[in-house]
Protein backbone atom coordinates (compact mmCIF):
# COMPACT_ATOMS: atom_id res chain seq x y z
CA UNK A 1 0.00 0.00 0.00
CA UNK A 2 1.53 3.32 -1.00
CA UNK A 3 1.07 6.55 0.89
CA UNK A 4 -1.01 8.98 -1.21
CA UNK A 5 1.22 11.32 -3.16
CA UNK A 6 -0.90 14.35 -2.29
CA UNK A 7 -0.35 13.90 1.45
CA UNK A 8 3.40 13.46 0.95
CA UNK A 9 3.47 16.61 -1.21
CA UNK A 10 1.57 18.60 1.41
CA UNK A 11 3.94 17.38 4.13
CA UNK A 12 7.04 18.27 2.13
CA UNK A 13 5.60 21.69 1.19
CA UNK A 14 4.86 22.38 4.86
CA UNK A 15 8.43 21.47 5.80
CA UNK A 16 9.81 23.71 3.04
CA UNK A 17 7.72 26.65 4.25
CA UNK A 18 8.89 26.01 7.81
CA UNK A 19 12.47 25.84 6.57
CA UNK A 20 12.15 29.02 4.57
CA UNK A 21 10.83 30.86 7.61
CA UNK A 22 14.13 29.91 9.22
CA UNK A 23 15.94 31.84 6.49
CA UNK A 24 14.86 35.10 8.11
CA UNK A 25 17.26 34.37 10.92
CA UNK A 26 20.71 35.83 10.54
CA UNK A 27 23.30 33.53 9.07
CA UNK A 28 24.62 32.42 5.73
CA UNK A 29 22.13 31.20 3.13
CA UNK A 30 24.04 27.97 2.74
CA UNK A 31 23.46 27.03 6.39
CA UNK A 32 19.71 27.59 5.98
CA UNK A 33 19.70 25.50 2.78
CA UNK A 34 21.54 22.65 4.48
CA UNK A 35 19.10 22.72 7.40
CA UNK A 36 16.14 22.62 5.01
CA UNK A 37 17.62 19.68 3.13
CA UNK A 38 18.25 17.80 6.39
CA UNK A 39 14.76 18.52 7.69
CA UNK A 40 13.11 17.40 4.46
CA UNK A 41 15.25 14.25 4.38
CA UNK A 42 14.45 13.35 7.99
CA UNK A 43 10.74 14.06 7.48
CA UNK A 44 10.69 11.87 4.39
CA UNK A 45 12.29 9.00 6.30
CA UNK A 46 9.82 9.34 9.17
CA UNK A 47 6.87 9.44 6.78
CA UNK A 48 8.09 6.30 5.01
CA UNK A 49 8.66 4.51 8.34
CA UNK A 50 5.15 5.45 9.49
CA UNK A 51 3.62 4.26 6.22
CA UNK A 52 5.44 0.93 6.51
CA UNK A 53 4.24 0.44 10.11
CA UNK A 54 0.64 1.25 9.20
CA UNK A 55 0.80 -1.05 6.18
CA UNK A 56 2.10 -3.93 8.33
CA UNK A 57 -0.63 -3.40 10.96
CA UNK A 58 -3.37 -3.28 8.34
CA UNK A 59 -2.08 -6.48 6.75
CA UNK A 60 -1.89 -8.21 10.11
CA UNK A 61 -5.41 -7.15 11.09
CA UNK A 62 -6.75 -8.18 7.68
CA UNK A 63 -5.21 -11.64 8.09
CA UNK A 64 -6.63 -12.04 11.60
CA UNK A 65 -10.09 -10.96 10.44
CA UNK A 66 -9.92 -13.42 7.54
CA UNK A 67 -9.16 -16.31 9.89
CA UNK A 68 -12.02 -15.30 12.22
CA UNK A 69 -14.48 -15.08 9.33
CA UNK A 70 -13.34 -18.43 7.94
CA UNK A 71 -13.65 -20.07 11.38
CA UNK A 72 -17.14 -18.65 11.89
CA UNK A 73 -18.17 -19.84 8.44
CA UNK A 74 -16.86 -23.35 9.14
CA UNK A 75 -18.74 -23.47 12.46
CA UNK A 76 -21.98 -22.34 10.81
CA UNK A 77 -21.66 -24.95 8.05
CA UNK A 78 -21.06 -27.73 10.56
CA UNK A 79 -24.04 -26.71 12.68
CA UNK A 80 -26.21 -26.63 9.54
CA UNK A 81 -25.03 -30.13 8.62
CA UNK A 82 -25.90 -31.37 12.13
CA UNK A 83 -29.32 -29.72 11.95
CA UNK A 84 -30.06 -31.42 8.63
CA UNK A 85 -29.09 -34.84 9.97
CA UNK A 86 -31.89 -36.73 11.73
CA UNK A 87 -30.73 -38.22 15.02
CA UNK A 88 -28.19 -35.52 15.91
CA UNK A 89 -29.46 -33.19 18.57
CA UNK A 90 -27.80 -29.89 17.73
CA UNK A 91 -28.49 -28.35 21.11
CA UNK A 92 -26.35 -31.02 22.79
CA UNK A 93 -23.33 -30.61 20.49
CA UNK A 94 -21.09 -27.60 20.80
CA UNK A 95 -18.91 -26.67 17.82
CA UNK A 96 -15.84 -24.47 18.18
CA UNK A 97 -13.44 -23.66 15.36
CA UNK A 98 -9.99 -22.16 15.83
CA UNK A 99 -7.69 -21.76 12.85
CA UNK A 100 -9.61 -24.44 10.93
CA UNK A 101 -9.39 -26.97 13.79
CA UNK A 102 -12.87 -28.00 14.92
CA UNK A 103 -13.62 -29.15 18.46
CA UNK A 104 -16.87 -31.01 19.10
CA UNK A 105 -18.07 -31.23 22.70
CA UNK A 106 -21.27 -32.14 24.47
CA UNK A 107 -23.19 -35.38 24.56
CA UNK A 108 -24.75 -37.80 22.09
CA UNK A 109 -27.02 -40.81 22.46
CA UNK A 110 -24.84 -43.36 20.66
CA UNK A 111 -21.29 -43.97 19.53
CA UNK A 112 -22.66 -43.99 15.97
CA UNK A 113 -23.93 -40.42 16.41
CA UNK A 114 -20.52 -39.38 17.74
CA UNK A 115 -18.79 -40.85 14.69
CA UNK A 116 -21.41 -39.31 12.36
CA UNK A 117 -20.87 -35.86 13.92
CA UNK A 118 -17.10 -36.20 13.50
CA UNK A 119 -17.49 -37.31 9.87
CA UNK A 120 -19.90 -34.48 9.03
CA UNK A 121 -17.58 -31.91 10.61
CA UNK A 122 -14.55 -33.30 8.77
CA UNK A 123 -16.39 -33.14 5.45
CA UNK A 124 -16.85 -29.35 5.62
CA UNK A 125 -14.50 -27.42 3.33
CA UNK A 126 -11.71 -25.68 5.21
CA UNK A 127 -11.60 -28.05 8.19
CA UNK A 128 -8.05 -29.24 8.82
CA UNK A 129 -8.73 -31.45 11.86
CA UNK A 130 -11.62 -32.52 14.10
CA UNK A 131 -11.19 -33.05 17.85
CA UNK A 132 -14.08 -35.23 18.95
CA UNK A 133 -14.72 -34.64 22.66
CA UNK A 134 -18.31 -35.86 22.53
CA UNK A 135 -19.38 -38.15 25.37
CA UNK A 136 -22.10 -40.77 25.45
CA UNK A 137 -25.12 -39.93 27.56
CA UNK A 138 -25.63 -42.30 30.42
CA UNK A 139 -28.88 -44.22 30.03
CA UNK A 140 -31.08 -44.19 33.13
Residue 134's pLDDT is 93
Tell me the DSSP string of 12-56.
HHHHHHHHHHGGGSSS-HHHHHHHHHHHHHHHHHHHHHHHHHHHH
**pLDDT tens digits for range 16-51:** 666 656 555 556 666 777 777 778 777 777 776 776
Angle among Cα 76, 86, 96 to the nearest 5 degrees reads: 25
Say if CB 92 and CB 104 are below 8 A apart: no
- pTM check: above 0.85: no
φ, ψ of residue 106 to 5 degrees: the values are 120, -155
**pLDDT tens digits for range 94-135:** 999 998 999 999 988 888 889 999 999 999 988 999 999 999
Q: Which residues pair with 93 in a beta bridge?
A: 106
What domains appear along the chain, each with residue ranges and CATH number?
A: 5-64 (no CATH), 70-136 (3.30.300.130)
What pairing do the DSSP bridges indicate for beta strands 101-108 and 93-98?
A: antiparallel
Amino acid sequence: MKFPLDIKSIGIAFLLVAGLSGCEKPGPAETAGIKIDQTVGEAGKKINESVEKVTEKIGSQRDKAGVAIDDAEITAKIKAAFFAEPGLKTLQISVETDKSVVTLSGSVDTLGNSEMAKALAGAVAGVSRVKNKLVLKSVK
